[in-house]
Amino acid sequence: MKTLIIGSGGREHAIALKLYEENNQNEIFISPGNGGTHQVGTNVSLKTHQEIVDFCKLKNIELVVIGPEQPLVDGLADFLRQNSILVFGPNKNAARIEGDKTFAKNLMKEYNIPTADFKSFSKDEFDEAVKYLQQSNFPIVIKASGLAAGKGVIIAQTFDEAKNAIDEIMNDAIFGEAGNNVVIEEFLEGEELSVFVVTDGEDYVILPPSQDHKRIGEGDTGKNTGGMGAYSPLNFVNAELISEIEQNIIIPTLKGLSDKKSKFNGCLYCGLIRTKDGIKVIEFNCRFGDPEIQVVLQLLDKSFYQLLKTTAEGQTDENAVKYNGGSAICVVAASGGYPDSYKKGYEITGLSENSEEIKIIHAGTILSKNDGKINLLTNGGRVLNIVAVSKCNDLTICKKRAYKVLSKVDFNNIYFRKDIGIKGT
């Protein structure tokens, strides 16, 4: 089996590692990969859609897995399918569920999918947006409609904060073209959860729900990030809640996308919140969440590869994987200064070997050769994911294991939250 994984982050390393552990005869290529992915496959540099197609034909690649949202929104899956290459990931139309929040919110409104009340504004409607804020309750949520690497959401506590946020997004373009349209929506209170739905557009498999820690600071304070940690399973999720999610969210969303000529094939990420009025959608994404997938993959038995491949073929195997009864926690080690400016190129030391209980997942890392010596250096905001696993579903043990390993890891200006998973223990 030959597989090509597109991406360079922790998600892609975690997927590559899972496929390697399931079958180390699976020849895995990662483009571009990072400083850790070479341990389970071969890093290759493929810069254009055509280069990817040419490589797949040259190497007889049997399955392409697209990790990040940007190439999906850019239509890479469409281009691969046009060239008869099997790919896991939605087409450009379906990827709008993440790439265009205005499209997603309007879809939810049309198909009665529970979500926060909202209104969308173009960058030419700044004055109208300000008037809307003057009539709103606070706190309130401001979202750049396009892709902003998980950082385009601002929770404003006051009118002045909200006005400043839309001014920066619309007029100062702090998120570039992603802020050409802005969604303003009510603030929802409750327990958040991430639910990954692997689907061919009709049949689907729900993977074990997880919880992300999006804020940079402990106690869920500070700016939004791409994610500072995650854990699974969640003690408040039961069969009744899963049924509610299926009936009220998954089924109508897949129907709505299909009706809009956007039939979904891949992972539909449902970012949800359990409120006093029931489960509601915070956001949809068109790919596996990072760092949530790093923990979810540790809880799957049988064949994740089979799940990906059958979904790509249009016939999701609903029995391809099963929950193994365990638990896992992921703690992200980041560069000091993230999610704002930070320096990179610092040497990383103190990493342990992977085992059944500990997985070291690389994200923003790179290998550098200097005077004949190969060093592992920081190369991003989120640098490493320390994942700890308990086969007996004990999150307290996971937490202790993760932080014990992390205490030995070192690089200049290392930063990590010390409260990951505390809600679940």
Per-residue pLDDT of 164-192, as tens digits, reads 999 999 999 999 999 999 999 999 999 99
Residues 199 and 271 in one domain: yes
What CA–CA distance (Å, rounded) separates 174 from 8? Answer: 24
CATH of the domain at 391: 3.90.600.10
Residues 310 and 344 in one domain: no
* Region 350-374 average pLDDT: 94
What CA–CA distance (Å, rounded) separates 330 from 296? Answer: 10
Residues 302 and 344 in one domain: no
Do the domain assignments include residue 11?
A: yes
* Residue 49: φ, ψ to 5°: -60, -40
Q: What does the pLDDT look like over 277-297, one tens digit per residue?
A: 999 999 999 999 999 999 999
Do the domain assignments include residue 333?
A: yes
CATH of the domain at 245: 3.30.470.20
* pLDDT for residue 25: 86
Q: Which of 29, 338, 126, 108 is nearest to 118 (CA)?
A: 108
Residue 20 token pair: 């390697």
* pLDDT for residue 331: 98
Residue whose entry in the numeric block shows the structure tokens 């000091």: 336
What CA–CA distance (Å, rounded) separates 42 from 5? Answer: 10
Residues 355 and 407 in one domain: yes
Residues 287 and 331 in one domain: no
Do the domain assignments include residue 424?
A: no
Do the domain assignments include residue 385?
A: yes
* Region 397-415 average pLDDT: 97
For residue 133, the enclosing domain spans 117-186
* pLDDT for residue 372: 82
User: 125 near 111, Cβ under 8 Å?
Assistant: no
Query: For residue 297, what is the DSSP state?
Result: G
User: 94 near 76, Cβ under 8 Å?
Assistant: no
Residues 382 and 339 in one domain: yes
Residues 377 and 295 in one domain: no
Last residue of a domain, one of 323, 356, 375: 323
Residues 371 and 267 in one domain: no
What CA–CA distance (Å, rounded) separates 99 from 109? Answer: 17
Q: What does the pLDDT look like over 62-115, one tens digit per residue?
A: 999 999 999 999 999 999 999 999 999 999 999 999 999 999 999 999 999 999
Residues 297 and 411 in one domain: no
Do the domain assignments include residue 294?
A: yes
* pLDDT for residue 26: 87
Domain count, the chain: 4
Residues 87 and 10 in one domain: yes
User: 402 near 388, Cβ under 8 Å?
Assistant: yes
Residues 319 and 409 in one domain: no
What CA–CA distance (Å, rounded) separates 226 from 318? Answer: 30
Query: For residue 352, what is the DSSP state?
Result: P
Beta 414-415 vs 191-199: how paired, if at all? unpaired
Residue 252 token pair: 């109508």
Residues 302 and 204 in one domain: yes
Last residue of a domain, one of 136, 159, 186: 186
Collapsing DSSP to helix, strand or coil, 197 comes out as: strand
What CA–CA distance (Å, rounded) separates 379 from 10? Answer: 12
* Length reported for the chain: 425
Residues 6+ apart with CB under 8 A from 127: none
Burial track 67-104 (b if 16+ CB lie within 10 A, e otherwise):
bbbbbbbbebbbbbbeeebbbbbbbbbbbbbbbbbbbb
Burial track 311-334 (b if 16+ CB lie within 10 A, e otherwise):
bbeeebbeebbeeeebbbbbbbbb
Do the domain assignments include residue 102?
A: no
Do the domain assignments include residue 106?
A: no
Q: What does the pLDDT look like over 18-43, one tens digit per residue?
A: 999 999 888 999 999 999 999 999 99
* Region 332-357 average pLDDT: 96
What CA–CA distance (Å, rounded) separates 286 from 265? Answer: 9
Do the domain assignments include residue 377?
A: yes
Last residue of a domain, one of 323, 348, 366: 323
Q: What is the mean pLDDT of the chain?
A: 96
Query: For residue 339, what is the DSSP state?
Result: T
* Residue 204: φ, ψ to 5°: -155, 160
Residues 6+ apart with CB under 8 A from 64: 3, 4, 5, 6, 52, 56, 80, 85, 86, 87, 88, 89
